[in-house]
Each structure stands twice: as C-alpha cells, then as structure tokens.
Amino acid sequence: MKRIAVMTSGGDCPGMNAAIRSVVRTALSKGVEVFGIDQGYKGLIEGNMKKMDNRSVANIIQRGGTILRSARSMEFKTDAGQVKAVNNLAENCIEGLVVIGGDGSLTGAKILSERYGVKTVGIPGSIDNDLCCTDMSIGVDTALNTIVRAVDSINDTASSHDRTFLVEVMGRNCGYLALVSAIATGAEAVLIPEVKYDIEGIIGKIKERYEQGKTRSIIIIAEGVGSAADFGKVFGMIGGFDTRVTILGHLQRGGSPTVFDRILATRMGTAAVEALLDGKTEVMTALQKTKVELVPFKDIIGLKKPLDTKLLEIAEILSR
Ligand code: ADP
Ligand code: F6P
C-alpha cells in the first residue's frame, strides 16, 4: 500500500486530532503517503482532500475538535453518493482509508469495503461510549472530565441555596456518560435510557435526604431519557429544595483532550495504519483491558453495548 487517507466523521470529539496526527506520522514513517479528507463522507464525495506531511499535524495533539472537520452526509447513504466517493479515492490512487467516528461512520466504512473493495479501518471516536467491543472510545474521558467539572461547580451553588439541580448530559441513547458522571460527582440519582425510572421514588428519596440534613441534591439525566426541562416541571419544590435545570449541551464535546484520550487516540492511530499495511479491512481498533486490539466491524456495527450493571449498583449504594 503506497497511499492511504484519513477522515473524521459524525459528531466530533476531543482526541480526534491526536488520532489524525498519529495516523499521518505513523504512515509517513513507513513510507506511505497520507491524504486528509475534509468533512468526512461529504468531503470524500466532493473530492475535498489534501496531502498531509509531518508539519500539517504539528501542534494539534492538545486541541479539541478536528482539523479535518466533520460532517453528516445524507448523500453518502445513496448509491450515487457512494460511487462518487469511491471514484475520488480511485482518482487519487488511495488504497486504504482510516475512518474516525461513531457507529454511523463505521457503517459507511463497511459499505466502502464490502461493496467497493476499499480497505477500511475504523477508530472509535465518540463521547457517547456506545460502541461495542471497546472499553472506551476516544473523547469519552475528556467529556466525563468536562461534565464532572461542571457538576462540581453546580454543586457549590446548589448547596448554598438548598436546591435540587437536574443536569442533562449527552450520550444519545446510551446512559454511560450519565451513570459514570453521577458516580464521580456523588449525585443523588441518575436517569438513563437502559433502566426504567421511578419519578415518585426519586422525589421521595430527595425529600428523605432533605430531612436527613442534606443541603443539596443533584440528579443527572441522560438526554436519551428525555428533556431535563420537562422533568424540571414535574419536580418543582421537593421537601425544602427548590429545583433548577442545567443542560450541559455541546460544551461536553469540546475542549483539550485529557492525557488518557491523547494516548488512546495515539495508540489507535498507529494500530489503524499497521492494520491497513497488514492487509486488514473492516476492522476497528478497540481498547480491551489495557491492549489495543482489532475487532471486525460485524461484531460492532448496529449492536448495543451492554451497560456495566456493577456501575448501577455502585451508583445506588453510594448515593445514600
Ligand atoms: P456517528 O458516526 O457519530 O455515529 P452518524 O450516525 O451521523 O454519526 O454517521 C456519520 C455519517 O456516516 C453519516 O452522515 C453518513 O454519511 C454515514 N453513514 C451513517 N449511516 C450510514 C449508512 N447506513 N449507510 C451509509 N452511510 C452511513
Ligand atoms: O454522538 C455524539 C453526540 O454529541 C450525542 O451525544 C448527541 O446526542 C449528538 O451527538 C448531538 O448531535 P449534534 O451535534 O448533531 O446536535
């Protein structure tokens, strides 16, 4: 393989730049040329790509977002869009593609491989941590740290005013960010899509905690459960606690990546290039325990990552 390309697709996440840097420098070190595709499948269809060198990825390991930018492309879901994309790869003599993104982006990579014979390797990049077979995706650790910092700040003002705060966090249909941040901030309750919730039970618990002398109460709500603003209307005044709502929103997706994400992204970038040069295709780099392994797309795409039930148990016990 003489030339490969790299793209970021779907929702961006901190650590994507570290992964791009690793792909580019690893490939160049092995005498392979690298093209960077602008804005994921959209840029691939439009032929928007440029040759990268060591300097194109200088000074980016610490930056959030993605220098290659990202997009969601409806056109790539059509046969005509896919043919345009494949033709652009062929015209530029690109033999292998590294796709950094979530489940949808990997689905696109699988199609390129299965239908058109392009060799593709995926790197899991999504704050949601909803991709199967990898303990962590790139961006998750940074997003968690951002959420925890924000909830710690909310906690300060909540306890000064005897308030309950409902904090809505991202995660699409996955409750991982909510569950882990609830444990890390000592929240009183967490609502996640994977588990049926009991609002009356939660209200009763908050009243009880107020009577026991707690000065504030934090409830983390995963966006997949519903809008925190709607829950806010149901909660109102509980015991002596008045309720306020905070929706953290897209600030969870930005910011400088943590050391964990920089290293994970760097290791996965290297593994992805090595996999392509090894002739592998339709595989994703995955963190399993402490090792970066390769997992076939068929074991990941469209599947639901099981929730760690031990974490749920811990959240329940420690919120007393
Ligand atoms: P993520 O990768 O974060 O899950 P999306 O689900 O939005 O984000 O997917 C990113 C892009 O991947 C889509 O905009 C589309 O271009 C491509 N994609 C997603 N699903 C498919 C599909 N079923 N067929 C072809 N391309 C897809
Ligand atoms: O998949 C990452 C994510 O941030 C989800 O947590 C969230 O539901 C979604 O993307 C938001 O998408 P958009 O940036 O298109 O509003």
Matching residue, tokens 């930005």: 254
173: exposed, middle or buried (Cβ count in 10 Å: 0-12, 13-18, 19+): middle
Cα–Cα distance measured from residue 207 to residue 230, given in angstroms and rounded to the nearest whole number: 20
Q: What percent of the chain is predicted at pLDDT more than 90?
A: 94
Atom of ligand 1 nearest to the CA of 126: 3
pLDDT tens digit string along 141-191? 999 999 999 999 999 999 999 999 999 999 999 999 999 999 999 999 999
Rg of the chain (C-alpha set): 22
Atom 9 of ligand 2, residue of closest alpha carbon: 172
Q: How far is the CA of 72 from the centre of ligand 1 (A)?
A: 7
Beta strands in 128-184 (DSSP E): 163-169
Cα–Cα distance measured from residue 136 to residue 133, given in angstroms and rounded to the nearest whole number: 9
Q: How far is the CA of 208 from the centre of ligand 1 (A)?
A: 46
Cα–Cα distance measured from residue 231 to residue 271, given in angstroms and rounded to the nearest whole number: 44
Cα dist from 237 to 147, 162, 231, whole Å? 25, 11, 12
Cα 204 vs. chain centroid, distance in angstroms?
Answer: 34
Cα–Cα distance measured from residue 115 to residue 295, given in angstroms and rounded to the nearest whole number: 20
Class at the top of the CATH hierarchy for domain 141-254: alpha beta
Atom 6 of ligand 2, residue of closest alpha carbon: 171
Q: How far is the CA of 142 from the centre of ligand 1 (A)?
A: 23
The verdict on pTM exceeding 0.95 is yes
Intervals of CATH 3.40.50.450 along the chain: 3-139+257-299
pLDDT at 272 over 90: yes
Cα dist from 180 to 41, 131, 133, 146, whole Å? 32, 16, 18, 12
Our mutation pick for probing the ligand 1 site, out of 46, 105, 118, counting the most ligand atoms within 8 A of Cβ, is 105
Intervals of CATH 3.40.50.460 along the chain: 141-254
* The predicted structure's pLDDT at residue 238: 84
User: Can you say whether the dihedral through the CA atoms of 126, 128, 134, 138 is positive or negative?
Assistant: positive
Cα–Cα distance measured from residue 14 to residue 295, given in angstroms and rounded to the nearest whole number: 23
pLDDT tens digit string along 204-254? 999 998 899 988 999 999 999 999 999 999 888 888 889 999 999 999 999
Atom 14 of ligand 1, residue of closest alpha carbon: 72
pLDDT at 306 over 90: yes
Pocket of ligand 1 (CB under 6 A): 9-11, 41, 72-73, 76-77, 101-105, 107-108, 111, 126
Q: Which of 128, 130, 141, 261 is catalytic?
A: 128
Class at the top of the CATH hierarchy for domain 3-139+257-299: alpha beta
Which ligand is nearest the CA of 174, by number?
2
Active site residue 130: no
Q: What average pLDDT is seen over the chain?
A: 97
Q: How far is the CA of 255 from the centre of ligand 1 (A)?
A: 24
Our answer on whether the CB atom of 127 is closer than 6 Å to any ligand 2 atom is yes
C-alpha distance across the termini of the chain, in Å: 58
Q: How far is the CA of 3 from the centre of ligand 2 (A)?
A: 32
Q: How many residues does the chain have?
A: 320
Atom 13 of ligand 2, residue of closest alpha carbon: 11
Atom 1 of ligand 2, residue of closest alpha carbon: 11
Our answer on whether the CB atom of 170 is closer than 6 Å to any ligand 2 atom is yes
